[in-house]
Every structure is written in C-alpha cells, then in structure tokens.
Structure 1
Amino acid sequence: MSGAARYPFSAVVGMDDLKLALLINAVSPGVGGVLVRGEKGTAKSTIVRALAALLPPVRVVAGCRFSCDPADPDPACPDGPHRPDGAAAATRPARLVELPVGASEDRVTGSLDIERALTEGVKAFEPGLLAAAHRGVLYVDEVNLLHDHLVDLLLDAAAMGRCHIEREGVSVQHAARFLLVGTMNPEEGELRPQLLDRFGLTVEVAATRDPDERAEVVRRRLHFEADPEGFAARWAEAEAELAERIAAARRRLPGVRLGEAALRQITAVCAAFEVDGLRADLVTARAAIALAAWHGRDAVTTEDVRQAARLALPHRRRRDPFDAPGLDRDRLDQVLGEHTDPEPPGGPGGPGGGRPAEESTGRPPASPEGSPAAPAAAPSPGDAPAAEGKPADPAPTGALYRPRLFTVPGVGTGAPGRRSKARTPHGRVSGARPGRRDLHLMATLRAAAPHQHARGRTGPGLVIAPEDLRAALRDGREGNLVLFVVDASGSMAARRRMGAVKGAVLSLLLDAYQRRDKVGLITFRGRGAELALPPTSSVEAGARRLERLPTGGRTPLAAGLLRAAEVLRVERLRDPARRPLLVIVTDGRATTGPDPAQAAALLRGVAAVVVDCESGPVRLGLARRLAALLEARAVRLEELAADGLARIVRDARRDAA
C-alpha cells in the first residue's frame, strides 16, 4: 500500500456524529478539538487522519520552523524576528502531527543542546512536535495511555497557546495553537479530568450492527487496500466539494449571529446539567455558531444548540470514573423547549440545512446510567448468607470514602504515577550518573573542572569531554499493579458486610485510578477462583464487575491465592518494571480446598495488604494469621478510611470519658 494515499474522509461509512464533530472543529478550531471514545476496530484513527486533507492550506513565513503567520508573526519566535509584511510568505498544506504515547519530553517540546551551549556559548534549539502542530492538528492515538508528564505539557500548551522550554537556566518559548484530537478505548482506562475538560467535543463510536452497512465498510476497505491511488481518485470529487464547503463555512463564520435567545438556551442547558465552570458554555456557543456556518445560516438556531450540546456536554457531566458518559436527551429537549426561540428564515430546512439531528447524526449516545458507587437502600436485618451453590443477588454498594495510602516498599523504575517511590524521568533531582539525556549542569561542570589544565584550556569556555556528561537522577512516583483478591463466599455474604466490602474495594479502585495504577480483580467462592478483571487501566470495568459480583458458597481461600500468584507471574513477564501490590479482602476463613499456608508461600515477598473483614463479638483472627504468612500488613475493614484510625481514637476517648 502506498504511504502517500490516505483513506478519504468522504468514503467512511456511517460515523455521522464523529464526522460532524470533526467538521465543526475544521470550521472553527476555537471549539477546542475532539475526543473519540470507542471500542477497538471502529476506524477512529482512519477518519481522524483523513481530516487533514480537507483543511485549508496554511500561509507561513518562508523558512520559519514554527509556522508563523506572515500577517501576525510571533514576536518571541526563536527563528524571528519576522517582518509582518508577508513579503517572504509561503503556502503549505495543513499538517496532522501524531504524538506517540511513549514520546519523550524533548520530542514533544523540543530540545536545547546543552553541550553546545557550554562549549560554544550558542543557544541551539531543535523544535518538537508541538511546534510542528502549530496551526494544524495534533493527533494522539490512545490518549488515555499518555504518561502524566506529557499530559501536563499538553495542558499547559492548550491553556496558554504557547510552549515553554526550560533547561538549566536556558529558556525558549514559541506559539503552539493546534486542533487537539484524541482517540481512546475506554476499556484501557480513563483520562485525567483536567485533560478531558480540554477537549471541546466528545463522541462515542461503535461498530454498526447492520449487516449491509458492515459489508459496505469491508468492501470499501478491501478496494482501498488493493488500489489506494485509484480508490482515492474515485472519491476525489467528493473530497474537493467537502473541502470547499469547509472553506466557505470558515469565511461565513465571522458573520454568524448568536442571538440572545440562543445564548440563553446554551446557558440554561449547561446549568440544567450542572457542568463545572463556564468552559462548557463557551464551547457549546462556539460549536453552535460553527454549525450554523456549516449549514449556510447566518444565525444560530435551536437545532444548532441541540447538536452542539449533545457533543459538548456528555464528558463534562462525569463526576468520577464510575459514571457512565451520556446525556439525557429528553431532559435536553425539555430545557430547550422552555427557552425556545423562533427559527430564522432558512432554518434547518433552508439553504445548507440538513435532516434533523435524530436522523443525521447516527446512533444516539447511551443514556446515563446510575453510578455503581451510588449509595443503595439499607439492607433488611433478616438478610442471610446464600446457600451452597446458589449465589445471592448482588449486595448494594456501601458509601465511598478516601482510603489510606498503601505503597510498595523500596524504589522502583515503573511507569510514572502517584503511588510508590521510583526513579522517573520527572521529579526531584537527587543525584547524577553518566549520560547525555536530561543533563545535570552542575554535576557535568564538577566532572569537567579537574581536567581543564590537562586539556589545555586557554579561553573562557570549558573543555567538555563526552565522559564528563552527567544525567540527572530524579525521585518521583510510579504507578503499580494493584491486584484485588476478594472473598465472595457465604461467610462474607451478609448483605451489610458485603455492601461495606464493595464500598471499600470501589474506594480503593478510585484511588488506584487517581494514582495511575493498573488494576485487576480476582474473586473466589464455591469451588474455585475467577479472574473477574484481567489487569487493566480501566477502573470503570472493575466497578462494573464488582457491582454484579454474586456471593455465597464455600470459601476456597487457597484457590484465590493460587490464582493471584499465577496472574502476578504472567504480569511480571509482560511488564517487569511495574511492581505489584496485592490487596486481599477476606475474613480469613477457608472451608474448602488445600491449606492456604502452602499457597501463601508462593506470594511471600510480594507487597501485600490484608483487609480483615471479620465481624462479630468473637473474632478468630484468621485474616491476621494470613497476613503473618504473607508478611503483609493487616488492616481492619473499618480502619481502611484515611481518617478511620483518628475516628476510632476519638470514639475511644469519648467512651472513656
């Protein structure tokens, strides 16, 4: 397949919501980009890459590596200063720059050559991906897997429209305004809320279930793979028409009127759905104006506001990663109806208008579901454990809380996160070692200083040899693999206790999400153990499994421990640098299977916490014995909250008084 031919945007079957969101941003980049959420194999990357060919060409200062606009050049451009007369202007196609998930910071922001700065006294700067994406599209595939330090860079650039590079006292900055497009599979984890909010629009995509439509998708793809240039040529006319329509909408955009009634609709909708801040109002307004321009209208209509709200608000309604994205369309129509303005001439059925949103935008987003973390009704006192072999209905989930922080001892080298101590590319400088990346200036100077006389130094510059270069050692935090092993047997099945256990595990899951951990879930009951959730970054998936967790039957504790040992063995092969933290939630009873002591021996040396769920006036201390076998920390269920110990002490003092 030729690398020059891209699959045409017009040839993509279906995906109407996604196409519309991308076209809105093509008309008005100020909308703020698109986040595309969906299962694997749904052409997310294909359609995003096809967008660049439709964007109008960009006029730049000839020879400027930072794509300065000849009419308004950046006064701080490292390649400047440029004269704003357009005499040395050039035109080039709009760029789509891809940011790899594993990119280094220098690759993203650019790099300063410290070695040349020390030896030659010159400021040599090599632009990065943010400079290349200026006035174009920055595309991040699997954006939810992006490391935290790169997320921070994107947040800064998106907020300020500039990229700042600081290296050992040398500072460079340049403009970095781009259309940010990200794709992700929610099963692999969610985005940080700060980055999620920076995406103007969001779209949920899924493969069609219509056999005829699926057949057309396969047919076109096979034709494209067999003859990319010929396939692109057959769609060239449709692509040209679409590109011209985008250009015409851009020209029309400044003249589109956002009336007072339409503005009131936007603010009423945002207030009704209780979104945080005012960014949602601004994004919805910009998207509605872009939609009016796209449809050839000179004023925003109710239908423009409806479509804009459907794309701009769903991801801003989520309060935590357990909430399902979506928008209640009946509620949206109700609010719009309460603030309806009359349609202007040439409305949805007029020039440039199209079918109603229900017909033209494809599959509606899923209605929001209740959060699994929502408190349920209190159980009745007569609830009892299920009989052997007959699992009880899932117990309601207890309230969430902030849990205590559990860490893995020692210093790791895993992926950046917020749990255990680690050597990371970012963090507090604690030392230096030989190396060329992330240069430690003072350590390099100290290494070179004793050799200046021997090297014949005569001028003001230092004579630096390759062996003098020192890289910084940084102390930071890493994300871990947090593997939950949850007892779901009859001894745990009292609804009050299991509800509290679910609340505890969900609280720990949320904590793992915030600390950028991978999580896995093993449950054991009856005759064996089940890997309910293979290790993943998606706490939302873990919450769903836990919410449906059946209880009852015997307690095969050893089977749960053996399954945990096997999962950890496989994960060590897949990701040796990611250290595990084992969290066992049990009352310590074992009523079937081999001796848990033998299984515990396989887990000795793994950082572990045993959450003791034993209750009642007489306690056997079985969970604490298990913790001793594992050389693990034991924590009572009621002590798991961050303020649990303080509360226990306060209660004891009150009782003593």
Structure 2
Amino acid sequence: MRAAVPNSFPFTAVVGMDELQLALVLAAISPAIGGVLIRGEKGTAKSTAVRALTEILPPVDVVPGCRFSCDPERPDPTCPDGPHTGERVVRAARLVELPVGATEDRVLGSLHLEKALAEGVTAYEPGLLAAAHRGLLYVDEVNLLHDHLVDVLLDAAAMGRATVERDGVSITHPARFVLVGTMNPEEGELRPQLLDRFGLTVDVVASRDPAVRVEVMRARLAYEADPDGFVARYAGPQRELAERIVKARDLLSEVILTDAALRQIAEICASFDVDGMRADLVTARTAVAHAAWSGRTVVEVDDVRAAAKLALPHRRRRNPFDAPGLDAEQLEEAINNSTPPDDPDDDPNGPGGPGGTGGAGPDDQSGPGDAAATTDERDAATSGSDAPEASSRGRDTGDGTAGGRPGEREGANGAEVVGSSAPYKARLLSVQTAGAGVAGRRSRALTEVGRVVGERARVGREAGRPHLLGTVRSAAPYQKVRGRTGPGLVVRADDVRLAVREGREGNLVLFCVDASGSMGTKKRMTEVKTAIVSLLLDAYQRRDTVGLVTFAGPAATVALPPTGSVEAAVRRLESLPTGGRTPLAEGLLQAADVLRIAAIRDPRRRPLLVLVTDGRATYGDKAYDRARQAAGWLAQRGIATVVVDCEPRRGIRLGLAAELAGDLGAEYLDLGDVAAGNLIRAVTERKVA
C-alpha cells in the first residue's frame, strides 16, 4: 500500500500527457466510471502520473479503527468490524498497489495464522481489496496478472464486495475502488473480460516533438536535483486542481443528462458496434463527469465527444487482432448523424467546448482539463505517425482477414510476401499428462494456483503456500511431548506441510518455418501462416506463449521471440517474405537457441517445437548432413517436436522430412493430408514429454 508523500512528483508537473491526466481526473470525480487503463510503451510516465494522483484527491472520512474504511455517514451493516458509532476521522486518499506476483490470500485476505496458532481462535486478516475500498487500486503491468487474480478482481468489480470462504473463514466486506492499470502492449494483451471492466482507456506515446521532450527532461532533472523545492513550486497549481476536483464532485449530482444527450450516446455506441450496454453507461457517466469538471450543469455535445474518445476505443475491438483506437472521422460522423442536444446553437469551440473551462474561471487555462480541448490539434499533429496505420491494420477489412491481405505482395528488397487467409477457431485438446509448468489455461498441471488436491512435506527451506490443516494435523500428536500448557499450538519447522494444487498450465509453441523457395506454392505458405495466426488467437485466450523462427536465403531469423502479444505477432507474420535457398541446419540451431534462452527465462513452461519444412537443405557445404546432425542434437535434449512435411504430393517425393522426423524423434505429419486446421489439432493433441 502506498500513500502520497510530500516530495512525490507533482501531478500538474507531468508534461505532454493531457489526455491521461484528464482520464484520471474524471475517474476521481466519478468513481462509478470504473477506472482507467493506461496502455503505452515503456518510459512514458504511466506509473508516475498514477502515483501522483493521490496528492490531489480529496481526503476521506472513515470510521476510526475500521479496517474496511467504512463511511461514517453510511456504514456497512455487514462490516466485520461493526457495528459502528457515529465517530469519524479524516485521512488522506489511499493508493493500494497490487503486485503482479501477489497471492490470492494477500489480495482477498485470509485466516490470521498467528492468532490461530497462538490463541486457537479464528480471526480474519484483511487483504488488499479491503485496503483499497473507497480508494484507488493500482495494478502495474496488469496484462501480466495471473488469471486467478484477474477472476478475483472481476468478481469484486462486478459486485462491489469481496467474499472469502476458506480455512474456516466466512467473510464478506465492501470493496468499491477505482481500478487503475498500466500495461505495455508489447508484453501481451489483456483478457477481454477484464479489459471491459476498465471504464476508460488511454494510449500513451512519448512525444516526437523535441521541444516537448526537452520539457520532460528539464522537469525530471529539476525534480531529482531538488525534490522539495520542485514540489514547492507546484504547490499552487496542485492546490487549485484539488479544489477544482472537489467542486466538480459537489456539482456532479446537479448535472442534467438530457434525453437528447442519452439518445446521442446510444446512437454513437451503436455506430461503433460495441458489445453490451456497459459502453453506453460508461460514456454517459463520463460525459456527466466532464460537464461537472468544466463547470456546467447540462451535458453538451463536447462532453459526449470527450467521453466517447475515452470510453469506446477498447470496446470496439472485435477480436485480439484489432488494434485499439477510435477513428476520429467515424466519431465525428456519428456525432453529426446522431440526435443533437436540446440547444442546437451550442458552439463546440466556445467556452463550453471540449475540456474547456466553461464556468470554471479564468485561472483554469491549463492542466488536464484542457486535454480534450486540444484533441483536434493533436489529431492533426499525429496524422503522419504510425497510429493511423496500426489502426487500419487492426480493423476488419471485410474479407475475414482481420487486417491481413491474402495473396501476394512485394516486401523488402523485392522479396515476395504471402499473406494469411481468414483465421479460425482452433480446436483445444489439452496435454494428457499432468505437467508442473507455469499457470495457464491449456493443460492440466500441478501449479502454484488452483484447487488444493493434497499436501506434502516441505523439503528443507523450500518456499511455498502452507497447507494449514495439514500442518496442524502433523503437529497435533506431539503437543504433550512438547510440553504445551496453554491454548496455543507448538509447531516446529518439520511439521509444516505445503499445499499441492492442480490447475492449468500454458505452453511455449515455437514454429520453425521454412520460408525459402523450396516450399513450393504460395497456397502452402498461406495455410501455414493461417495456422500460426489461428493458434496465436487460441494462445491469447489460453495464455500460451508463441514464437516464430524462419529460415531462408543464407540464415535463420527470429521473426517473433516468444510472446503473448497478438498484435505484434500478426504484424510480423503478415510481412514475412518467402524465397531463396534453404538453410535448414541454421533454422534448427536458431530454434534450439530460442528455446534455450526461453528455458532460462521461464524454466517451467514446457516447449513444443513445430518444424514446417519439406526437408530440403540447399545452403552451404553438406547442408543436409549438417541438418541431420542438428536434428540429432535437438533430439538428445528431449525437445518435443512435430515435423510438418510440405513436400508436394504429386511427382517424385524424396521423403527428406520423414527422415528428419526420425532424427528428431518427432511426430511426422504430411501437410498434403491435413488442412491448416488439422495442423492446429496436431499441435494441441501432441503429448509433450
């Protein structure tokens, strides 16, 4: 848990992040919006802005001594620390950080082990969700959060309460918080269920304007040189911003959301074809908060526009291949075509314009409130950046390719590029034998999370989650011998039992693809690419990791390091060229090196190598002999492998891929006998050794 400290970086000193600041302020004004997801590349001040927010949030009235931060005006009748009197204390707003590696016990709370062992009583120790009630819950790298913790957050966010039923504890307590998450899309995407729980989303990109970058460096260096002096210089703007948030909160209940504005919001959401009704509700709440922030008591077109830009980008995605973002032209067209508000003479560029000061006073000429006011300028400034191109790649092209172009086109240096066809749902068949890998959603495995299926003795100083009842049973027969006289339990180190849990694991599926001219027809490369893209979609849903090694010409290339990022994978696959000679040995050795590094980084994730080739080796001296030697070297290391033979069925067949499969100790498949969908089934049905 982190509270604001006097010398933390000031929120108003953050440079070039107006849209991010606006989203955070609106979520603070109206917690019902549902929080903020901040997507962006590394080093863009995402965490700095979030942690600085607590200094400008209004203080909170709480019941003294209540561990669940009950409101003295409306105390929860079921609070475990109740009943409460009318007493109150005031404390600063609280920012609670949820680490990616946190345990479920730490998040939900659990049995107070010390009291259970020493006093023999059942007592509940609150977790992070209790501490975050009526405050902010911050998850850095939220896309890397374990699935079981995601499920806990989903339940709490949906119900506004946390429920604990374990180890003899049965507790429910309020858990309403503003959920703020940051993530780097290059490290993987977020589950759709959790993505939809974030009310607003902001994509943060470091400015390419040298003047802005100079301001960022100057501010940061000045803060590091003299933190107290730097904070003192921003004391005035910080105080003004905090007061403006308080005024907006007070005004929130007076803001009128007219029927015409509701109709406009509904038509805009319908035009973007978003799922469900949460988008409409979040947009309406955000528009009301934006009106209060701007000092208005009636929602106007500009409030709806600003709200849609923050509430809809992550909800218009039809599948993981779609890039996030909102088409500005489509939004303006939807606004123009929708029912206008009651006053048709509203000037969108006037004092009540987007993010403007409309009634907030002349002192509010800068800061996060102006983020929406400069949207048009920012859109024009970024018209030459990569963002529109990425957005167009992610949009559905109408031909089922999810942004890819089937057929052929020209790549770098005139190399021919063959695109994939429409991806399909991959059939899921889990590994039959239980492994001991990293937590995921594919194969049955003994993991650190999941349901308890047994207990075992701890070996030495081995770390792990203790099995409480097993530990008590182990120690109970020896209490008289150990001289116990009080109600407590005498427990020794060798009594500790660890819980054995069964869950699901994720796998690393590494494709090693022959992209040389010997692969034959373009249709085969299209099928291979489609299979990989479809498997990646399944891996995104099942929390697998997928990588891609290609070999063509003089060398092998790591086209895609092991990753869970769907967007990055699709871009690499669609731009993969074909042609040239076949360095098969180099491809096998490169794949082995990728798996070696992956094993160091994540030793518990079991790998599966899928070699897609016709078995020919045409680059270098004794190319085929070197390829067979590399295959034997891989087999000695026990790497589970599937060889997919792409040699044409008609004409003379050399059978080189079959020989290679024998050297690898691999399962052999003929691409001519199985469609791309059967390639997926071959991967998922493979029993990993």
TM-score (norm 1): 0.90
CA distance in 2, matches of 1:249, 1:213: 30
Alpha-carbon distance, 1:49 to partner: 0.8
* In the alignment, structure 1 residue 600 sits paired with structure 2 residue 599: no
State the Cα distance separating 1:434 from its structure 2 match: 2.7
- Which of residues 30, 33, 43 in structure 2 aligns to 1:31? 33
* Aligned: 1:347 with 2:347: no
Unaligned runs of 5+ in 2: 362-368, 683-689
Q: Is 430-439 or 402-411 further displaced after alignment? A: 402-411
CA 1:611–1:229: 2 relative to 1, 3 Å = same
Tell me the SS of whatever aligns to 1:223. helix
Q: Does residue 416 of structure 1 match 2:439? A: yes
Structure 1 position 610 matched with structure 2 position 643? yes
Cα 1:405–1:613 change in 2 (3 A) is farther
SS at match of 1:244: helix
Give the SS at the match of 1:584: strand
Spell out, residue by residue over 1:99-137, the C-alpha distance to the aligned partner (whole angstroms, 9 max, x if none): 111112222222213574477442222222111111111
| SS of alignment partner, residue 277 of structure 1 | coil
Aligned to 2:669: 635
- RMSD of aligned Cα (Å): 3.0
In structure 2, what is the Cα distance between the partners aligned to 1:404 and 1:630?
A: 26
- 1:426 equivalent in alignment to 2:431: no
* Inter-partner Cα distance in structure 1 for 2:227 and 2:551: 52
Distance 1:344 1:174, change over 3 A: farther
Alignment of 1:29-428 (within 5 A): 29-83=31-85, 85=86, 88-113=87-112, 116-117=115-116, 120-338=119-337, 339-341=339-341, 342=343, 347-348=352-353, 350-352=358-360, 357=372, 359-360=374-375, 363-364=378-379, 366-367=387-388, 368-371=391-394, 373-374=401-402, 379=407, 392-405=415-428, 411-428=434-451
C-alpha separation in 1, matches of 2:319 and 2:608: 23
The partner residue of 1:474 within 501, 516, 519 is 501
2:24 is aligned with 1:6: no
**Distance in 1 separating the partners of 2:160 and 2:148:** 18
Q: Distance in 2 between matches of 1:44 and 1:361?
A: 23
CA contact (8 A) 2:42 2:184 kept: yes
Note closer, same or farther for the CA distance 1:421–1:625 as it changes in structure 2 (3 Å cut): farther
Amino acid in the other structure paired with 2:263: R
Q: Hey, what's the Cα distance between the residues in 2 that align with 1:35 and 1:386?
A: 38
8 Å Cα contact 1:588/1:622 also seen in 2: yes
Q: Please say if residues 525 and 551 of structure 1, whose CA atoms lie closer than 8 Å, have aligned partners that are also in contact.
A: yes
Deviation at 1:451, TM superposition (A): 4.2
CA offset at residue 33 of structure 1? 0.6
The whole-number CA distance in structure 1 between the counterparts of 2:16 and 2:113 is: 51
* Cα shift at 1:377: 7.1
What is the one-letter code of the residue matched to 2:187? Answer: E
**After the TM superposition, which of the residue ranges 310-319 and 105-114 deviates more from structure 2?**
105-114
Shift of 1:454: 5.0
The answer (yes or no) to whether the contact 2:512–2:609 under 8 Å persists in 1 is yes
- SS across alignment from 1:323: coil
Mapped partners of 1:563, 1:356: distance in 2: 48
Structure 2 equivalent of residue 653 of structure 1 = none
Deviation at 1:639, TM superposition (A): 4.8
Q: Per-residue deviation at 1:429?
A: 2.7
Partner amino acid, structure 1, of 2:448: P
- Hey, what's the Cα distance between the residues in 2 that align with 1:45 and 1:542? 26
1:15 partner amino acid: M
Structure 1 residues without counterparts, runs of 5 or longer: 647-657
| Separation in 2, partners of 1:102, 1:177 | 22
Q: CA deviation at 1:557?
A: 1.3
Aligned position for 1:16: 18
Paired amino acid for 1:130: L
Determine if contact 1:439/1:471 at 8 Å carries over to the other structure: yes
TM-score, normalising length from structure 2?
Answer: 0.86
415-424 or 56-65, which deviates more: 415-424
In 2: Cα distance, 1:391 partner to 1:480 partner:
36
Q: CA deviation at 1:591?
A: 2.1
Q: Deviations over 1:37-63 (max 9, x none)?
A: 111111111111111111100000001
Are the equivalent residues in 2 in contact too, given 1:288–1:307 (CA < 8 A)? Answer: yes
Measured in 2, the distance between the counterparts of 1:138 and 1:361 equals 32
The corresponding residue for 2:686 is none
Distance 1:437 1:552, change over 3 A: closer
Aligned length: 637
Q: Is the 8 A contact 2:406 2:420 kept in 1?
A: no
Would the aligned equivalents of 1:108 and 1:128 in 2 still touch at CA under 8 Å? yes
- Greater shift, 446-455 or 58-67, is seen at 446-455
Residues 1:77 and 1:362: Cα distance change in structure 2 (over 3 Å) = farther
- Distance of 1:320 and 1:473 partners within structure 2: 36
> Which piece of structure 1 moves more, 343-352 or 261-270?
343-352
Distance 1:132 1:550, change over 3 A: same
| 1:416, distance to aligned residue in structure 2 (A) | 1.1
| 1:260-286 Cα deviation digits (max 9, x unpaired) | 111011111111111111000000000
Aligned AA (1:617) = R
After TM superposition, give the deviation of residue 8 of structure 1 in Å: 0.6
Q: Which residue of 2 aligns with 1:655?
A: none
Match of 1:651 in 2: none
Cα offset, 1:13, TM superposition: 1.0
Residue 687 of structure 2 aligns with which residue?
A: none
Greater displacement, 451-460 / 351-360: 451-460
* Contact 1:403-1:508 within 8 A present in 2 as well: yes
Residue identity matched to 2:665? E
Give 3-state SS (helix, strand or coil) of 1:255's partner: coil
Aligned partner of 2:556 in structure 1 is: 529
SS at match of 1:231: helix
Give the deviation of 1:225 after TM superposition.
Answer: 0.2
Residue identity opposite 1:628 in structure 2? G
Q: CA deviation at 1:163?
A: 1.4
Deviation at residue 455 of structure 1 after TM alignment: 5.9
Q: Which amino acid counterpart does residue 340 of structure 2 have in structure 1?
A: T
**Which stretch has the larger CA shift, 362-371 or 63-72?**
362-371
1:369 match: secondary structure? helix
Contact kept? 1:54, 1:243, Cα under 8 Å: yes
Q: Deviations over 1:545-583 (max 9, x none)?
A: 111001011111111101011122222222322322212
8 A contact 2:134–2:177 mirrored in 1: yes
1:426 partner letter:
V
Give me the whole-angstrom Cα distance separating, in 2, the residues matched to 1:67 and 1:642.
56
In 1, the alpha carbon distance for the partners of 2:19 and 2:183 equals 16
On the 8 A contact 1:432/1:471 being kept in 2, the answer is: yes
Deviation at 1:374, TM superposition (A): 2.8
